[in-house]
Amino acid sequence: MKVDKKSGWLSGVRLVASPNHDRRPHGVAIDLLVIHNISLPPDQFGGADIEKFFTNQLDINAHPYYAQLKDVKVSSHFLIRREGEIVQFVPCRERAWHAGVSSWQGRNRCNDFSIGIELEGSDFAVFTESQYQSLVRLTRCLQRTYPLKDIAGHSDIAPGRKTDPGPFFDWAQYRAGLKK
């Protein structure tokens, strides 16, 4: 796995291009990694609905929860599926729409300077060993390419508004994996 610095796409991962992104502000360093969780429908895993959501193809009539997602345009740079598959939606050099209203260490608009990674999961389920392994590999790859200084959860950059990656995300396991 390697980042093509010019395009921002990774080799060795599945690419599903999302239209939900735009240019980062000129001269802003990518120095924050944000970890999220997502499941669609909530607390259900598998299927294509996350990909459909990030590509504006989600059928809002397919599940009662989806009505609140009508006209919502979001994305993330990456999704790590339960079995560890990495899917990329937005090139790293572009601004994905994953953080929303956010702030990190006195800087607002975290989308401007961050890369977002969604883990297929929820606040109510443990993540898989395969997901941690893929997250560590992906993080190391991104650290070799970008000046990432910090790693935070969505809950850290949008406290009170967001709770992910949630209480079942094992920060100690993840950080230990990065040290190996």
Active site residue 51: no
Q: Chain centroid to CA 124: how far? A: 18
User: Alpha helices, DSSP H only, in 119-168?
Assistant: 129-145, 154-157
How far is CA 106 from each of CA 18, 151, 160, 170, rounded to the nearest angstrom? Answer: 29, 15, 17, 26
Alpha-carbon Rg for the chain in angstroms: 15
Task: Report the candidate in 177, 155, 152 with the shortest Cα–Cα distance to residue 166.
Answer: 155
Catalytic, out of 83, 85, 94, 118? 118
With a CB cutoff of 8 Å and minimum separation 6, the contacts of 5 are 93, 145
Which residue in 91, 60, 63, 62 sits closest to 75, CA to CA?
Answer: 91
> Which residue numbers are catalytic?
118
